[in-house]
Amino acid sequence: MGSTIRTPLRRRRQSSGLVEARRRQGFSRTRRTRSGSLLRPVLDFDAVFSPDGSKVFFGSDRPVPGHPKKDQDFDIWMVERTPRGWSAPTHLDSAINSDEDETFASPAANGTLYFVSGREGGRQNLAIYRSKLVDGKYGPAEKLKGPVNDKENWSLEVQVAPDESFLLLVPIGRKDGYGSFDIYVSEQHNGEWTAPRNLGPKVNTAARDYSPRFSPDGKYLFWSSERGISSTRPDKQSPTRNWKGACTAY
């Protein structure tokens, strides 16, 4: 896992899928991972490895077989590493996915899954939940206790430490932020989660900083940032001028 990067790739703003890059004297060309047969474009996003590298969790609006929805919302899916590569995606059951949006999932080392869900009030009321893995099945979703789920900490993302001692989130538009998207940390004390604290200027900038991940050995933090990227859109005469892309990994 330490030599593999897995990330979403979007083309023409119509769909996105997960791609994999393997390190061989630098990173090789990417290749799309297995996603199954689909009849329409889908959005697969925010892939997160389990700490042991055996599973990848991601959000998607892909159709759920046998469960049509009036509004095709976002759900959490999972793929597992096999001797032949990655398995076909599995839609997680109702302990995780609801009739509302689930946008991000991050597993702890013991299998407990932390995730963002709108199950209590829809998209305007996203909150962070967790579900414990017992005998191979996820238990009832538990909304995290403490200030971490206050209104000002509304976040689409949650990345939990393998030992569940702390988590990272990206509250949108907090007044104490360096920009509109900053990465914050909340610590677990006696079953409750503390008020999120900004990680500071070594990580956050006036640009958008988001999508944090830990290295397998726990020594490094990776995240996406739009720092240094011009907001000027390309024109017809010079399609590449002042346009560097959507974000950069740090």
Which has more pLDDT, 162 or 250? Answer: 162
Label residue 68 by pLDDT band (50, 70, 90).
Answer: confident
pLDDT over 80 (residue 39): no
Label residue 19 by pLDDT band (50, 70, 90).
Answer: low
pTM of this structure? 0.81
Label residue 168 by pLDDT band (50, 70, 90).
Answer: very high
pLDDT over 60 (residue 141): yes
How many whole angstroms separate alpha carbon 249 and alpha carbon 213? Answer: 10
Label residue 3 by pLDDT band (50, 70, 90).
Answer: low
What domains lie within the chain, and their CATH numbers?
4-249 (2.120.10)
Average the pLDDT over 79-108 and give the result.
95
Across the chain, mean pLDDT equals: 82
How many whole angstroms separate alpha carbon 54 and alpha carbon 61? Answer: 23
pLDDT in tens, 101-132: 999 999 999 999 999 999 998 888 999 999 99
